[in-house]
Structure 1
Amino acid sequence: MVSVVVLFFILFTVFIFYSINSMTNKLCVQKEIPDERQQKVFRTINILILILLVSSYVEVLYT
């Protein structure tokens, strides 16, 4: 049972990161954010998404 949940979350995480990074890239292009700041924007968003995904995984695992 746990392995199915882990597999689901890994696939879900890949999809979420791809989607969010795609939207972040479009935002950076649309708002004309300089290249120097883009790296910081991507890093911040990815860290926040990672925290969200880890917390949801822990909640599902222990509920």
Structure 2
Amino acid sequence: MMVVFVVFSALILFNINRLTSILCTQKEIPEEKHPKIFRTINIYITILLISSYVEILYT
């Protein structure tokens, strides 16, 4: 179960980062802000994935 969830999570993070990159390009966000945007989104998505895993684990 854990291996499937880790693979699924990696795919989600990859797709979210790809979409964030597209968003930054479309909205013409300055390059200096890209690391902060990516870091913030990755932290939020990681928290969401960990809470989902804990919820699945204990139900």
TM-score (norm: length of structure 2): 0.97
Distance in 2 (alpha carbons) for counterparts of 1:9 and 1:35:
33
Please show how residues 1-63 of structure 1 align to structure 2 within 5 Å: 5-63=1-59
Structure with higher RCO (Cα < 8 A, 6+ apart): 1
- Structure 2: give runs of 5+ residues left out of the alignment: none
The structure having more radius of gyration, on CA atoms, is 1
How many positions carry a matched residue from both structures? 59
Distance in 2 (alpha carbons) for counterparts of 1:24 and 1:58:
26
SS at match of 1:10: helix
Give me the identity figure in percent: 56
